Chains A and B, each alone.
Chain A
Amino acid sequence: MSTQPADPFATDGYENRPPRMGFFTDTSVCIGCKACEVACKEWNHVPEDGLNLTGMSYDNTVGLGADTWRHVAFIEQRKPAPPGPDGQLRWLMASDVCKHCTHAACLDVCPTGALFRTEFGTVVVQEDICNGCGYCVPACPYGVIDQRQDDGRVWKCTLCYDRLGDGMEPACAKACPTDSIQFGPLDELRERAARRVDALHEAGVADARLYGEDPHDGVGGDGAFFLLLDEPEVYGLPPDPVVTTRDLPSMWRHVAAAAATLTAAAAASFAATLIGRRR
């Protein structure tokens, strides 16, 4: 909720924990090879979810879901792509993933406690607890987590929780041949990203911007953030996501007022008949 500090660990009393880990996905060097998608599927035993040709450039996985935890987006634009000539086709590629939000709506609304915050600051589903209520699905402002049809439970990126525990980097980052996907302590990644965006601006790539790195944004900053070359919505990302539970204290107040109003309405309904009888 909004009153929480931007540090998800601030109040839990766990000392000497590992630093908060995350992803910095620099889409300016993504070549669209989908090694991340494949590595993720293989390592995490994510089932096949259709071999379809969508006609959406080279994108045949469409978006993140229960069975797609890394998704490479392909955008074909007729824009001057520096340093090329005007009117050249620009091909944007970006590997999307769960953002592991500082204020994670999925985690907040989970009624069973199946979703939890790990010691690495990531957000993970405990599959032996999840009862498939599906509340986290519409709560996620990014459209990441989803229900697996034949299984009933919800699934998403774990930031390879099992690998992190053994000091290894997540499978997608390991497989990325261009270091578009960088894994590390979030503080370091944020510094590295700031330097990278400056370098790109100096090189004349004015479109370069960071997405999800700001701890003051609507979700308290993402554990997995991005360097983009166009507006977020071009990549299918929400331009200004806000954790829905930010408004929950106000929602509860309105619920309480409405409940009181209902009680008063019922009382008035009976009181009116007494007045009628006396007349």
Chain B
Amino acid sequence: MSGKHRAERPMVPKAEFTSYYGKPILNPPTWQSPDIPGYLFLGGLAGGSSLLAAGADLTGRRALSRMAKTGAVAAAGLSMVALVHDLGRPARFINMLRVFKVTSPMSVGSWLLAGYVPAAGVAAASALTGRLPRIGSAATAGAALLGPAVASYTAALISDTAVPAWHDGYPEMPFVFTGSGAMAAGGLGLLAGLPARARPDETAPARNLALLGVAMETAAFARMEHRIGLSAEPYSAGRGGAYVKAGQALALLGAAGSLLSRRSRIATALSGTALIAASAATRWGIYHAGLASARDPKYTVVPQRQRLDERAALKD
């Protein structure tokens, strides 16, 4: 068992534990990459973009509005493709809408997307063709209303499992996800400033949203890692840790770039790209950390054993 972090974390119990031939207790998620981490990433990008689109319409930023609406519908559409592709029986996708269960974040999410995707689609179609502006406005408002839920519900989706790294982080995970979504949507919005005819203040709100997103994601992630102890180990080790570190570096790069590069359209667009990549890297990191924490019985046994021992000590 890796003991790398033992010295740094006195709160974490010694990783001495019994297992059945080192076999995992949980059956690890069958969810595949790139489908599911991609789905988490695209949902955040879409949800954040719909908010940006609504704000852009209200403040008369047409280029930003078009970019955000196109991004929202593309991301939402792709995320649906990823979700269906990950099913063991894709032809039975429609069974997702057979019942509505508040105990199943995937059921709630399916219904949410059933409302959100058409709204984002109509909003984008209207913006790109210039037709049916009133219906387009209503769809933009609808997508902006549902967007934040699309960006955040996926946190409940992965936390509502027995996977230690995901479940234990449930209070912070929604903030990590919406922060990450804001970062990605802001990054995409910065690309609206690329054409030479773009107004200089066209992308200002996108930059602001990206910076707020970076701050939110970074703060929530740090708090989660600090609070959950042993369960956080996969976020800083192995494949998950590598993705998380890459995400943090890209987020810093993108944030700094977006602030320093206001005069250069190319540099602004590059910063936006870095922010989008940062959001994706974080999602892939969270995905791989979850798999790692499910595959090693240590993460299941040690905290549960500690809980039992504490309860027994209270009884004595």
Chain A interfacial positions (CB closer than 8 Å to B): 1, 56, 59, 62-65, 73, 75, 105, 108-114, 129-135, 137-148, 151-154, 231, 233-241, 244-245, 247-248, 250-252, 254-263, 265-270, 272-274, 276-277
A228 to B300, CA, bound (A): 19
Q: Does B134 contact A (CB under 8 A)?
A: no
Shortest CB distance B35–A (Å): 10
Q: Mask for B87-103, Cβ within 8 A of A = 1, else 0?
A: 11110110110110111
Nearest CB in chain A: distance from B16 CB, A? 12
Complex formed: what's the CA distance from A114 to B208 in Å?
45
* A230 nearest CB neighbor, chain B only: B18
Q: Which of B87, B152, B160, B201 contacts A273 (CB under 8 A)?
A: B201
Q: CB distance A112 to B301 under 8 Å?
A: no
Q: Within the assembled complex, what's the spacing in Å between the Cα atoms of A82 and B25? A: 29
Contacts of A234 in B (CB 8 A): 18, 20
Determine whether B72 belongs to the interface, using a CB cutoff of 8 Å to chain A: no
Chain B CB count within 10 A is highest, among A143, A252, A270, for: A270
Q: Quick one: given A108-B103, A109-B106, are A255 and B93 in contact (CB under 8 Å)?
A: no
Given the complex of chains A and B, what is the CA–CA distance between A249 and B17 in angstroms?
32
Decide if B41 is an interface residue (CB 8 Å cutoff). Answer: no
Complex Cα distance, B304 from A237, in Å, reads 11
| Nearest CB of A to B173, in Å | 8
**In the assembly, what is the distance between CA of A108 and CA of B99, in Å?**
12
Q: How far is the CA of A64 from the CA of B24 in the complex (A)?
A: 11
Chain B 243-272 near chain A by CB (<8 Å), digits 1 or 0? 000000000000000000000000000000
A92 → B minimal CB distance (Å): 10
Q: For residue B50, which residue of chain A has the nearest CB?
A: A266
B: residues with CB less than 8 A from A are 17-21, 23-31, 47-48, 51-52, 54-55, 58-59, 86-90, 92-93, 95-96, 98-99, 101-107, 110, 148-149, 151-153, 155-156, 159-163, 166-167, 170-175, 177-178, 181-182, 186, 201, 204-206, 208-209, 212-213, 216, 290, 294, 297, 300-301, 304-305, 307-308
A131 vs B153: C-alpha distance when bound (angstroms): 21
Which interface residue of B59, B96, B103, B206 has the most chain A CB atoms within 10 A?
Answer: B103
Contact of B162 with A140 in the complex, beta carbons under 8 Å: yes
Inter-subunit contact B148/A145 (CB<8 Å): no
CB < 8 Å: which of A131, A235, A256 contacts B93?
A131
Within 8 Å by CB of B155, from A108, A142, A255, A263, lies A255
Contacts of A240 in B (CB 8 A): 304-305, 307-308
A135 vs B31: C-alpha distance when bound (angstroms): 8
In the complex the two chains form, is B216's CB within 8 Å of A111's CB?
no
Closest-by-CB residue of B relative to A148 is B88
A250 to B297, CA, bound (A): 26
Cβ-closest chain A residue relative to B204: A273
**Complexed CA–CA distance, A141 and B25 (Å):** 8
**In whole Å, how far is A91's beta carbon from the nearest beta carbon of chain B?**
14
- A270 contacts B55, C-beta separation under 8 Å: yes
Distance in angstroms from B156 CB to nearest chain A CB is 4
| Cβ–Cβ < 8 Å partners of A112 in chain B | 92, 95-96, 98-99, 107
Tell me the complex Cα distance, A46–B148, Å.
Answer: 44
B20 and A233: CB pair below 8 A? yes
Asked if A137 contacts B30 (CB within 8 A), the reply is yes
Instruction: Tell which of A59, A64, A113, A239 touches B304, judged by Cβ atoms closer than 8 Å.
Output: A239
Q: A153-B89, A272-B208 are in contact. Are A251 and B156 (CB under 8 A)?
A: yes
10 tightest CB-CB pairs across the interface, nearest first?
Answer: A132-B88, A152-B88, A236-B20, A258-B174, A131-B92, A269-B208, A259-B148, A266-B51, A111-B107, A138-B161
Complex CA distance for A154 and B29, rounded to whole angstroms: 12
Given contacts A152-B87, A251-B160, A265-B209, A145 and B27 within 8 Å (CB-CB): yes
With both beta carbons as reference points, the residue of chain B lying nearest to A139 in the complex is identified as: B161
A261 touches B88 (CB 8 A): no
- Separation of A129 and B176 alpha carbons in the complex (Å): 34
Contact B88 A237, beta carbon cutoff 8 Å: no
Q: Which residues of A contact B20 (CB under 8 A)?
A: 63, 73, 75, 233-236
